[in-house]
Amino acid sequence: GDSVTQMEGPVTLSEEAFLTINCTYTATGYPSLFWYVQYPGEGLQLLLKATKADDKGSNKGFEATYRKETTSFHLEKGSVQVSDSAVYFCALRGVAGANSKLTFGKGITLSVRP
Amino acid sequence: EPEVTQTPSHQVTQMGQEVILRCVPISNHLYFYWYRQILGQKVEFLVSFYNNEISEKSEIFDDQFSVERPDGSNFTLKIRSTKLEDSAMYFCASSDQTGRPEAFFGQGTRLTVV
């Protein structure tokens, strides 16, 4: 079945540092890929998405590129802020149906210190 | 901006009691989901619902769980006889029928079974 693997956390960075959070997936065909973010005390918010190979999703300075050859969707940001402190989840939606379930990775906690 | 709303935000219940978690999906969405997140673990799919019937469910979604769309706006998850291991954050989500693959999540209901 479909699966998503995220790098182990937590991650602690200083403000303005470069961020990379690794995500790889296992799925048949061409799933849609997502990053969701969960700020403290809040629900899951869609951060960015990509629906086909080589697509780059971007939002709020974050970027991730859909790499079919490496089955990866790594999240990057050039300069993190304290307000980026949150839990980040990589997820995929398989090709089984247009609105089939999302499969999530374990999530990784990012803490950014001033 | 339209959003998914969930009530209550926190529910404490005694083991063996029935609970109903409520959700109001985004108004023009047709696909509805419940997910749960046990503390410190990944977000897990429970069930998806479309056209007034379950379209997919996970192994977690056993006979003690049920879902219902009692009217045109609410979507509920009922747990008939709660167990300690049902303690988790429960997220409702919805998605539309336009082909966009992302789902939109509510803030979650934290269920504590004592």
pLDDT in tens, A40-68: 888 899 999 999 999 999 999 999 999 99
pLDDT at B10 over 90: yes
Residue A98, pLDDT score? 60
A99: helix, strand or coil: coil
Point out the residues of chain A with pLDDT beneath 70. Answer: 96-98
Q: Retrieve residue A39's tokens.
A: 């700020």
Contact by Cβ (8 Å): A28, A36: no
Weakest mean pLDDT among A62-71, A99-108, B3-12, B16-25? A99-108
Cα of B75 to nearest chain A Cα, Å? 17
Residue B100, pLDDT score? 76
What is the chain A residue with the closest CA to B55?
A100
Cα of A98 to nearest chain B Cα, Å? 7
Residue A32, pLDDT score? 92
Task: Measure the CA–CA gap between B63 and B60, rounded to whole angstroms.
Answer: 9
Contact B105 A45 (CB under 8 A): yes
Residues of B with CB under 8 A from a CB of A: 4, 6, 31, 33, 35, 41-45, 48, 50, 55-56, 58, 91, 93, 95, 97, 99, 101-108
Residue A96, pLDDT score? 63
pLDDT tier at B102, thresholds 50, 70, 90: confident
Nearest by CB to B108, from A43, A103, A105: name it: A43
Taking only the tens place, the pLDDT of each residue in B32-90 is: 999 999 988 889 999 999 989 999 999 999 999 999 998 878 999 999 999 999 999 99
Residue A16's region, left for phi above 0, alpha for psi from -120 to 50, else beta, is: left
Nearest by CB to B91, from A43, A93, A101: name it: A43
Long-range contacts from B95-100, C-beta under 8 angstroms, 24+ separation:
B95/A99, B95/B29, B95/B31, B95/B33, B96/B26, B96/B28, B96/B29, B96/B30, B96/B31, B97/A98, B97/A99, B97/B29, B97/B30, B97/B31, B99/A98
